[in-house]
Amino acid sequence: MTKQPAFEELEKKVQDMEVLAESNARLDNILRNANDIAIASTDIDFHIKYYNPMAEKLFGYTAAEVLGKTVQEVHTKENVSAERFDQAIEEVRRNGEYRYQVKQYTPGGERHVDACVSGIFNRAGELVGYSLFGLDVTRQKLTEAALKESEEKYRLLIENQSDLVVKVNTDGEFQFVSPSYCAMFGKTNEELTGSHFMPLVHDDDQESTATAMKALFEPPYTAYIEQRAMTKNGWRWLAWMDTAVLDENKNVISIIGVGRDISERKQAEEELKFKEAQLQQSQKMESIGILAGGIAYEFNNLLYIISGNAELLEEGVGPKDKEILQEITSSTKRGADLVKQLLTFSRKSETNLQSTDLNAEIQKVVKMLDRILPRMIDIELEFAEDLFLIKADHGQIEQVVMNICLNAKDAMPDGGTVTIKTENCVIDKSLIKEHPEKPDGLKEGNCVLLTISDKGLGMDSETQKYIFDPFFTTKEIGAGTGLGLSVIYGIIEGHGGHISVDSKPGQGTTFRISFPVSKNDKITSAYAADKAGSLTKGTETILVVDDEKSIIEMTVKMLSRHGYKILSADSGESALNIYADKQNEIDLVLLDLGMPGMGGKKCLEKLVALYPDVNVLITSGYSDEGLIQDHLNSGAKGFAVKPITSDSVSKAIRNILDE
């Protein structure tokens, strides 16, 4: 049976409807199961025709509640103004769709939606409705906000960080520099980014910096570096803690460094190191001084015996033998001068401190130097007119100036100028702090500064460490004893002053010496040794007290020649016993201070306590004025410096007995 055309057309329509229904079912299934996208459609007047489950979940309304209603009725709290909605419709009509982001207030709270409105067109191309798609981006927005907040905090942290923060790539080129780094180096971020950090590092520190950087490429991928860098304020010490940034394969991709200015710490360390070296030098000089003093004391006794015996032999020998004895005497005098230098260095020499005009004393020395120095050496004087008086020993000041000027002459073999300058200065607390090894040497207050400088050969730093050591010399063998500057050191220390040297090879040498200002118009020595007077013989009885037999024998021979009667004792205890038995016979006690056992000081005190009118002449190789004055205050009538001579001890004895 043949189908009619009308029936066939109907059957085809039915089939098309079935296909369409099946297609609609599949589409509806897809839309309903679109778990991430909210989908809705409206007619031309925005009446909602479709609302998928995700739209229900996102906006909190069921499809039954919204179907047939307009979008404006359902989403009255949506953060979209009427003008913006009209703009969206106009954009859809013109371009087919409109995308925007909106905050959506739903029953579940505020949500962020990435929305898109598209037009629905019929086959004739006419707009018949709208489809709305919404993607919930709340989590993304919150993450972005948190990230932005974190970045802001990080930015504020970096910008207000006093420490330096940099990031460099594996080639050492800046990828990031903190504002603090830019400020320290006086450069902008643009100037630094992409440039290499190494040219900013001191040449002497580049090798150690490169070595430390290599360590960043091995576990534990960290390194500590101290380096000098050229900042806008010059070279500064910076300490860096560097950490490598690794990728997922533990390959270094960049390096982050956090730095800090440690210049003040470095300076403090250098100052401490310098002070420790000064203290060690001071302690060494003190030890050498004690040793020198001890040697000089023993040497004095030997010289005394030698010179005394030579004096005794001179009267009874022929001319030839007399010449030999005179040579012996001359040699002992030179030995005595050497002992005096050792004692000066050890600060146990005889000093006669008086208020002194340093300018006047220097002028006296310059007159002598004019006759000694070669003509190609000039001396320039720069004197302060209102110079303070200092408390000084004139002879020792002469020795200081003379010795330094002669050294300057040797340093300028082709000639040159020696400049001697005096000026008033003030020793303050900061200078005292620089010299903790001199608690009694540097006193706060006014002082006089003596500066002697030349333009000669100069010295390196290693030589300067030893110039004040006894017997150290840079001269040829036989050209000097090596005691010159060590004696000067002892003299200055004995005056309560301070000496320093500044020198560089080829740039000359400058000595700076400070002296405390005198508080008295005149200071005179209180002891009576070597006073002027005629040498006369005596008939009095003298008790010689010394622990060395040879010294007693020599003194007995010397004094017996002058008519004195001699008693002797080899200890303080023995001297007290003898004096107790024969006090009416003994006119004077010649007492050595450096004896074992009771010792000379205690013996003196007991003699004076028991016999207030006793005449005691003390002798010692140690002739420090303060020590002598203590004994004079304890009751001694005079002092004689060892090695004593027949003339010196006879004068000292007569000065006491004749008074």
CATH number (domain holding residue 433): 3.30.565.10
pLDDT in tens, 233-273: 999 999 999 999 999 889 999 999 999 999 999 988 887 77
- As given in the structure block, the two tokens for residue 406 are 């002669």
Q: Which of the four pLDDT bands, split at 50, 70 and 90, describes residue 527?
A: very low
CB–CB of 60/66 below 8 Å?
A: no
pLDDT band at 321; cut points 50, 70, 90: confident
**Distance, CA of 135 to CA of 383 (rounded, Å):** 95
Average pLDDT over residues 288-317: 69
Q: What mean pLDDT do residues 438-461 have?
A: 76
Of 322, 345, 368, which residue sits at a domain end?
A: 345
- Work out the pLDDT band at 576, boundaries 50, 70, 90: very high
Residues 116 and 129 in one domain: yes
Tens-place pLDDT, residues 145-166: 777 776 676 666 656 667 898 9
* Judgement on whether residues 298 and 243 belong to the same structural domain of the protein: no
| Cα–Cα nearest to 513, from 435, 451, 578, 577 | 451
Residues 387 and 426 in one domain: yes
Mean pLDDT of the chain: 78
Beta carbons of 550 and 305 less than 8 angstroms apart: yes
Helix or strand or coil: residue 127? Answer: strand
Q: Look at residue 17 and tell me whether its pLDDT is greater than 60.
A: yes
Cα–Cα distance list, 309 to 271, 305, 371, 396 (Å): 56, 6, 38, 31
Distance of CA 335 to the CA centre of its chain: 44
pLDDT of 99 reads 74
Query: Is the same domain home to 362 and 273?
Result: no
Predicted confidence band of residue 617 (pLDDT cuts 50, 70, 90): very high
Last-in-domain residue among 345, 378, 410: 345
> How far is the C-alpha of 309 from the C-alpha of 482, rounded, in Å?
30
Please check whether residue 400 lies inside any domain of the structure: yes
- Residue 500 within a domain: yes
Residue 332 is predicted with a pLDDT of 74
**C-alpha to C-alpha distance for 590 and 554, rounded to whole angstroms:** 13
Residue 74 domain-assigned? Answer: yes
Q: Say what the pLDDT of residue 596 is.
A: 81
The two most distant CA atoms of the chain are separated, in Å, by 188
Domain count, the chain: 6
Q: Which of 353, 354, 355, 157 is nearest to 258 (CA)?
A: 157
- Rounded to whole angstroms, the Cα distance separating 436 from 459 reads 26
Domain that holds residue 440: 354-516
Q: Which of 217, 246, 261 is the last residue of a domain?
A: 261
Whole-model pTM: value is 0.39
Query: In angstroms, rounded to a whole number, what is the distance separating the alpha carbons of residues 472 and 345?
Result: 13
Is the same domain home to 277 and 421?
A: no
Structural contact between residues 547 and 596, judged by C-beta atoms closer than 8 angstroms: yes
- At residue 223 the predicted structure's pLDDT band, cuts being 50, 70 and 90, is very high
Contact present, 398 and 365 (Cβ < 8 Å): yes
Query: In this predicted model, what pLDDT tens digit does every residue of 121-132 receive, in sequence order?
Result: 888 888 888 888
